[in-house]
Amino acid sequence: MSDLRELYQATILDHYKKPRNFGPLAEATTHVEGHNPLCGDRVTLHVLFDGDVVRDVRFEGSGCAISTASASMMTEAVKGRQRAEVERLFERFRDLIAGPEGSEADSDELGKLAVFSGVREYPTRVKCATLVWHALHSALGDATTVSTE
């Protein structure tokens, strides 16, 4: 059970049961769909850019606890931030979960997102946690659909 609590931390379960920033966003300037073919999960991300700033971001879709909580916490973490900051956060988050050994140590700037560190021990769940981040990453570029494959 203790191992499981490493993965299913209270914060993660809370965001799974009560996802923040969930729903459509009429004023969004970019919509990106993310798809995990492994489990069929889909997430749609709506982003409102104001120049280089992520003014607002919301998401829709159904997924597991890890992917839903990741989406929910990501929206909170990036709202109001500059593109460059968001890109950096994306890289830090990726390192936290799936980066080379040791790279996860440098995770101070992730703040609350560090609760996902447990995912590292579950290789089959890495894609659940990173799907929405990949969607965001492509929203920062131009692509409109992403897949974890």
Partner 1 sequence: MKRAADDPNVAAPSLDVKRLREDFPVLQRSVRGRPLVYLDSAATTQKPRAVIDAVARHYAEENANIHRGVHLLSELATTAYESAREKVRALLNAADVREIVFVRGTTEAINLVASSYGRGRVGSGDEVLITAMEHHSNIVPWQMLCEEMGARLRVAPIDDRGALDLEAFERLVGPRTKLVAVTHVSNALGTVNPVREIVAMSHARGVPVLLDGAQAVAHQTVDVQALGCDFYAFSGHKLFGPTGIGVLYGRAELLEAMPPWQGGGDMIASVTFEKTTYNVLPYKFEAGTPHIAGVIGLGAAIDYVQSVGLDRIAAWEDSLLAHGTALLEALPGVRLVGTAPDKAAVLSFVLDGVHAHDVGTILDQDGIAIRTGHHCAQPVMDRFGIPATARASLAFYNTLEELEALAAGLRKVAEVFA
Task: Provide the β-strand partners of residue 57.
Answer: 47
Q: How many Cα atoms sit within 13 Å of 148 on the Cβ side?
A: 21
CA–CA dist 108, 68 (Å, integer):
23
Contact call for residues 42 and 62 (beta carbons, < 8 A):
yes
SS3 labels along 15-38: HHHCCCCECCCCCCCEEEEEEECC
Q: Contact region for partner 1 (CB under 8 A) — 81-89, 94-102, 120-128, 131-139?
A: 120-128
Among 62, 82, 144, 145, interactor with partner 1 by CB under 8 A: 62
> Among residues 125 and 134, whose Cβ is nearest to partner 1?
125
CA–CA dist 76, 13 (Å, integer):
16
Residue 65 touches partner 1, criterion: CB under 8 A: yes
Residue 73 touches partner 1, criterion: CB under 8 A: no
Residue 148 touches partner 1, criterion: CB under 8 A: no
> Among residues 15 and 79, whose Cβ is nearest to partner 1?
15
Map the footprint of partner 1 across residues 30-49, applying CB under 8 A.
38-42
Min dist CB 122 to partner 1, Å, is 6
Using a 10 angstrom Cβ sphere, with 0-12 exposed, 13-18 middle and 19 or more buried, the burial of residue 53 is middle
> Among residues 17 and 112, whose Cβ is nearest to partner 1?
17
> Among residues 13 and 105, whose Cβ is nearest to partner 1?
13
Q: Which residues bind partner 1 (CB under 8 A)?
A: 1, 3-5, 7-8, 13, 17, 38-42, 62-66, 68, 122, 124-125, 128
